[in-house]
Structure 1
Amino acid sequence: MLKSVFKTTAASALVALAGLAATASPSLADGKMTVAIALDPGSWDPIDTFLVAWGAVGSNIFDGLTYRDENAKLGPGLATSWDVLDDGKRIRFSLREGVTFHDGEPFNADAVKYTFDRLLGDEGAKGPQRANYTSIESVEVIDENTVDFHLTAPDPVLLTKLAGYGAMIVPPKYLEENGDEYFNTHPVGTGPFKFVSYNPKVDLDLEANPDYWGGAPKLSELQYRFIAESATAVAELQAGRVDLMEDLPISMIPVVEGDSKLEVLSTTGPTVYGLRYNTRDGITKDANVRKALTMAVDRATIISSLLGGEASEIASFQSALSFGDDPDLKPLPYDPEGAKKLLEEAGVAPGAEVQIDIRAGNSTMNEVAQAIAAYLQVVGIKATVKPYESSVFLNDIVPQGKTGAMFQQSWGGWTLDYDNTAYLLYHTGEKWNPYGNDTTLDAMLEEQRPMTDVAEREKKLQAIAGYIADQALEMPLYALNSIYGINKRVEGFVPAPDNRIKLNNVSIAE
């Protein structure tokens, strides 16, 4: 059954992609597009980062074996089809022929094996991506255009994972000749655009790959500018020096809508926001205190007033797009009187202090955190908001367990499967779980991974979400829409829910 399902999915998507390639322009158009993103990941090696900002850019330089389009449909990428064999413990991929990397070396089975040996080896151990692919025991070359993935156990999310981030295929010869450090800042892939230059924290310039297997891009140049301040990015959009801005803040929507040259595009997204609790130290060690703090905050009003309705309230750390979301699981109610009672029962005296740690540079999240602090004040909790520079927050404060009582968590949920969120956030020993050590939860997370019965696995994921909600490990806030500001001269752009925008079919009108 699994074999036929995946072959059918691959075949239908392949037909669509083949049609796309056939209709693509055979020669390069003369057009440059500039995209503003807030964060420079600092390395363009696929195994070095988990950031959505990397995916937004990397999807135009690299390809994976599979591909997920802007409608979240999975289909062929560098693999044209696949068979799931041996009860899900082996996957055979048939590879696309005639593809070359940007440096001219051929894409083949050896490149696939090299990519995953590197990801699962010493180099991959230095970065955060390897944890997503540990179900892969080994990659076996069958012939030049065929590989077998041998798995330690069935991984129901692996085919989606192969569409992005750490699974992007890299060139063996180029890496061996130039080394990892050089590759970080001079990436080479098989994607629709080729690397030209990189100025850290300033910009990244790409040019069209005329030999791209999916058809030559309609743009001749693609530039990414790293603009941390959203007001600056919007000003550049208005001035015509930026054509597309990702993650447009809610507060800036009226500015963009008020400019006749621009428009706002919004789509339901997988990215969720919340405040997680330090369950090791202070008053938030107590689950009832955590529930009280959550009940003290009117999340619905935050969504309607601060977010302009561009979000939806969540009961677990996943959006409605996620496999494992339970529509019957309801958020804790806004109940300040109930919160006061729980705090009193827990022996928390009025005036108790908590610190809310957030990432600096996100004006919307800063406003939300300040609103949460005000709500907590009403129930007798004195909250202070402490911003950290993103790299410090993500690489030190959270992973090393140095946070205050509450800390921001935003999660792209790019696999659209709760496993990839829940395992990394709640399983003991994971980087994004600095405080948790729950053997019951660990067992639940491990039990669902090898399940091949889709319905049973969904029930298990929903049970995990319910268990986490009962333990109040976080204050779930909202699933935010993916919001873009765009110049109307851009043609063919389709907003992607996960911000991983492939721009080979976009053009700039004269």
Structure 2
Amino acid sequence: MRPLKYPLLVVMTLAGLSSPVLAEDTIDVAAPFEIQSAEPSTSGHIFLRMGITETLVDADPDGTLLAGLATAWNVSEDGLTWRFDLREGVLFHDGTDLTPEAVANALDIARAKPGPIATLPISAIAAETGVVTITLTEPQSALPAYLAESRTQILAPAAYGPDGQAVAVIGTGPYAITDLRPPLSLHATAFADYWGAQPHVSNVTYSAVSRVETRALLAESGDADFVFNLDPASVTRLAQSAAVQVLSVAIPRTLMLKVNSAHPFFDTVEARQALSLAIDSAGIAQAVLRYPDGADQLFPPAMGGWHNPDLEPLHYDAEAARELLADLGWEPGADGILTRNGQRFALTLTTYPDRPELPLVAAVLEQQLRGVGIEVTINSTNSSEIPSGHQAGTLELGLIARNFALIPDPIGTVLSDFAPGGDWGAMGWHNDEIVELAQTLARGEGGDAERARITTILQTELPVIPVAWYQQTLAVRAGFEGAVIDPWERDFGLPAMRLVK
């Protein structure tokens, strides 16, 4: 795999400015994600980011895989047997040893639940002396990258109930939970027996704060030290404040329109192309998101070989959209909304406020699509409505922020979304060629030519329509140094943060 390339992570400091009085032993984090439970399959991303849990494999900002709880790994010549050497001297937060049996147990439980690891052709996970062996029925070169995904975090055997659901978060990370109060908060303190370096700040708290305006006020007032995921207006305001440092970095995430290709309005390539032509993505990026450019293909330039510079860029052309729709039999009604065979071109666009920019973009899309005769009703609701609507077949349009870095090898997400298509990816659409190409890449065969062909198919058939490439932003209270943004969104980096002396 060609490593992904990202801009350097910038740590901003406010030299020469007076700092507020800070509590030296606590970092208070505010983010939009609710803690549903102790279960890794639903809230594991929070525990991993907070430094409470760890995975067998880690990843650096360029996507290069690093040792985690496994110090090394190797695969047999036939690609079917992987051996992961476990780090010695690691303790769980309950004082028990990290053993091969405990790791195999956690991975077996993880693959029995929804998540990327459940899609892998694993026939057995076995514990040996100092080693965990994973046997596959067909080669998967990206297996180590899958084991860096948050739902494969390793918990102690005592963390699980009889049904395999986690009832406690007993990890191996630098912080151990002392108080967990779903859905809104947790407190953790430095784990004295951590195998690695001790954190500079001994306590961390997490608060789930859904409203972005509230998170911005917490940053501005100093009531939160680390505020994750801000809207463009808040970023502009906070950047002028001496009370915080604002960090931003391009990440492998795309804001896109998920289209139900089985819907009679979108069951042709021409209909989806018309929808894409009706969207002024550059205008949305610049006016709403304050990004320099919109997305003219699915994968952003930061994604190395997955970004295809040879593709004909997607572009805005409302008149061409109207012509395509007319060719499909749609005619304007008295109020300007298209009709065909007595049906109005009226749809529901589902999105969610966890990412504050999504409802703003949805409102602009509503106006842009009305301009070509498509009536859109916005349903801003829980993010879980996207996959549930996909599974039920009721979702018509979904505006989502798709993270292609859930697994530090994009082939994992590509397989999930398009071959044959998970509940965050293509809906009502299937392409045999993409399935074959993606499986070839997953086996460790092929390369740039296969990636380029996949991107060409997606650009032509548009099962999803890209709108903007993402930048992640956060605010850190002035007086702290060492804060960075992880492009893979796996880690808040709290153990490395310290107060400026």
* TM-score range relative to shorter protein: 0.7 to 0.9
Q: 1:448 to 1:69 in 2, by over 3 A?
A: closer
Residue 94 of structure 1 aligns to a residue in which SS?
strand
Partner of 2:41: 47
In the alignment, the residues of structure 1 paired with residue 354 and residue 54 of structure 2 have an alpha-carbon distance, to the nearest angstrom, of 30
Tell me whether 1:427 sits opposite 2:419 in the alignment: yes
In the alignment, the residues of structure 2 paired with residue 269 and residue 403 of structure 1 have an alpha-carbon distance, to the nearest angstrom, of 27
By how many angstroms is 1:310 displaced?
A: 5.9
Say whether the 8 Å CA contact 1:271–1:498 is kept in structure 2: no
From 287, 294, 297, the equivalent of 2:276 is 294
Tell me whether 1:374 sits opposite 2:364 in the alignment: no
Residue 263 of structure 1 aligns to a residue in which SS?
strand
Partner of 1:38: 32
Say whether the 8 Å CA contact 2:284–2:294 is kept in structure 1: no
Say whether the 8 Å CA contact 1:322–1:418 is kept in structure 2: no
By how many angstroms is 1:285 displaced?
A: 1.5
Partner of 1:135: 121
Q: 1:105 to 1:416 in 2, by over 3 A?
A: closer
Aligned partner letter, 1:389:
N
Say whether the 8 Å CA contact 2:416–2:422 is kept in structure 1: yes
Tell me whether 1:221 sits opposite 2:215 in the alignment: no
Partner of 2:461: 471
- Structure 2 residue runs without a partner (length 5+): 3-22, 338-344
Tell me whether 1:460 sits opposite 2:464 in the alignment: no
Say whether the 8 Å CA contact 1:265–1:485 is kept in structure 2: yes
By how many angstroms is 1:87 displaced?
A: 3.4
Say whether the 8 Å CA contact 1:129–1:165 is kept in structure 2: no
Say whether the 8 Å CA contact 2:35–2:208 is kept in structure 1: no
In the alignment, the residues of structure 2 paired with residue 42 and residue 322 of structure 1 have an alpha-carbon distance, to the nearest angstrom, of 35
The residue correspondences of 1:69-218 to structure 2 (distance < 5 A) are: 69-120=60-111, 124-125=112-113, 127-132=114-119, 134-143=120-129, 145-175=130-160, 180-181=164-165, 183-184=166-167, 186-218=168-200
Say whether the 8 Å CA contact 1:47–1:130 is kept in structure 2: no
By how many angstroms is 1:358 displaced?
A: 1.0
In the alignment, the residues of structure 2 paired with residue 88 and residue 329 of structure 1 have an alpha-carbon distance, to the nearest angstrom, of 33
Aligned partner letter, 1:153:
E
In the alignment, the residues of structure 2 paired with residue 288 and residue 76 of structure 1 have an alpha-carbon distance, to the nearest angstrom, of 47
The one-character-per-residue Cα deviations of 1:443-487 (angstroms, maximum 9, x if unpaired) are: 33333321x24xx23321321221122112121112211111111
Aligned partner letter, 1:140:
A
Aligned partner letter, 1:264:
V
Say whether the 8 Å CA contact 2:116–2:416 is kept in structure 1: no
The one-character-per-residue Cα deviations of 1:129-182 (angstroms, maximum 9, x if unpaired) are: 4435x2332223231x12222222222222122123122112124436x8655x
Aligned partner letter, 2:420:
T
Q: 1:410 to 1:322 in 2, by over 3 A?
A: farther
Answer with 282-291 or 313-322: which moved more. Answer: 313-322
Partner of 2:57: 66
TM-score (norm 1): 0.85
In the alignment, the residues of structure 2 paired with residue 311 and residue 131 of structure 1 have an alpha-carbon distance, to the nearest angstrom, of 36
In the alignment, the residues of structure 1 paired with residue 310 and residue 141 of structure 2 have an alpha-carbon distance, to the nearest angstrom, of 24
Q: 1:43 to 1:252 in 2, by over 3 A?
A: same
By how many angstroms is 1:76 displaced?
A: 0.7
By how many angstroms is 1:398 displaced?
A: 3.0
Q: 1:362 to 1:94 in 2, by over 3 A?
A: closer
Aligned partner letter, 1:366:
P
Tell me whether 1:418 sits opposite 2:404 in the alignment: no
From 378, 384, 391, the equivalent of 1:385 is 378
The one-character-per-residue Cα deviations of 1:28-87 (angstroms, maximum 9, x if unpaired) are: x9510011110114133323468x556533xx1111111113453321111112222223
Tell me whether 1:332 sits opposite 2:314 in the alignment: yes
By how many angstroms is 1:287 displaced?
A: 1.5
Q: 1:311 to 1:33 in 2, by over 3 A?
A: farther
Residue 105 of structure 1 aligns to a residue in which SS?
coil
Tell me whether 1:502 sits opposite 2:493 in the alignment: yes
Partner of 2:291: 309
Say whether the 8 Å CA contact 2:48–2:150 is kept in structure 1: yes
Identity of paired residues, percent?
24
- Structure 1 residue runs without a partner (length 5+): 6-28
Q: 1:506 to 1:135 in 2, by over 3 A?
A: farther
RMSD: 2.5
By how many angstroms is 1:324 displaced?
A: 2.5
User: How many residues align structurally?
Assistant: 467
Say whether the 8 Å CA contact 1:55–1:164 is kept in structure 2: no
Partner of 1:14: none
Structure ranking higher in helix proportion: 1
Residue 80 of structure 1 aligns to a residue in which SS?
strand
From 451, 466, 483, the equivalent of 2:473 is 483
TM-score (norm 2): 0.87
Aligned partner letter, 1:420:
G
Say whether the 8 Å CA contact 2:277–2:315 is kept in structure 1: yes
